[in-house]
Amino acid sequence: MTYLDLDVTNNESVASVVKQVIDRFGHIDVLVNNAGVGATGAAEEFSVAQTQDIFNINVYGVMRMTKAVPPYTTAASISALHRVLPARIFDRIVRRFNRMPS
């Protein structure tokens, strides 16, 4: 397994990681937008800067990755680009996949 440092709030970081993946594997099969942060408390307690930081990761980070990856997907995997499913649904899919013959 290969781990790469990625800052989804930074265009250069996104471009760099996508390039590293393409250089190593030649294409991308699946994009899982899994970066995200949460916050607790009343909305009026947050500064505009804090809210912008949350949106930069949770919304614009998804947009950056979703725009950066499709040019490098294969025709067979284009439909596999997705956002993270709710955990209970994702777990069901993984369980079914693990039962499939290889």
Residue 62 domain flag: yes
Task: Please check whether residue 19 is in contact with residue 71, taking contact to mean a CB–CB distance below 8 angstroms.
Answer: no
Burial class (CB in 10 A: 0-12, 13-18, 19+), 54: middle
User: C-alpha distances in angstroms, 20 versus 1, 3, 6, 53, 83?
Assistant: 14, 11, 11, 26, 21
Please state which of the ranges 9-18, 77-86, 87-96 shows the lowest mean pLDDT. Answer: 77-86
Residue 5 domain flag: no
Residue 4 domain flag: no
Q: What is the pLDDT of residues 29-69, one digit of tens each?
A: 888 888 888 888 898 899 999 999 999 999 999 899 988 98
Q: Is 0.85 surpassed by the pTM of this model?
A: no
| Rg of the chain in Å (alpha carbons) | 16
Number of structural domains the chain divides into: 1
CATH number at residue 93: 3.40.50.720
